Structure 1
């Protein structure tokens, strides 16, 4: 199996772990750089996060989406250490708001671990639903 295919499998395993409520820790590098599109003053989940920050973001999303989210992978493209995934994410917030967003993730994988994740999404919609209880 090529490195590109191995890296693609790491990313698919990440989505599998996160989607099932599992723990993706084994797939995350200690120095993970996780970035979410947007301006933090307008969308509090936006900006750069460490591995610890990634878990804080997941905690906020989990609190606001108590029944979880459904992530449908529409496309995955991998070359070398880069893996790009186009998704549709659906769910219902704790307050009953529908969450329907198209999200593109750009992953960098090294030695079987995610070292960088960049997430591009409709930040206005995400702010209205996912960050409604973030100060």
Structure 2
């Protein structure tokens, strides 16, 4: 499991947006702005989204070899940046969706109810960051 250093942990709890990169069926990158939360206990990034969104479809697709999809989020502010990369999956479990919405509300703002909401969960296995946040 990936652990962030103290500077990185603070940065991913500040109110910033990020970009999410997933791969389309043809292998080309799909990059969109997102809000995300970091779960330091599990090394997981969560993005709430609509089940029919392109990012959800991309994250739910397995590779030709059956490997799980890969995704990354990249947050930038001035000279600070962090990229969190790992395996992606779509979670439809109501308990995890409720937890993700609560985490989102703490970092950003409360969300309106959405019966089509799912969680794009990235289990992070690679972290890159600016020298300002080197461990």
Q: With structure 1 as the length reference, what TM-score do the two structures score?
A: 0.32
Q: With structure 2 as the length reference, what TM-score do the two structures score?
A: 0.32
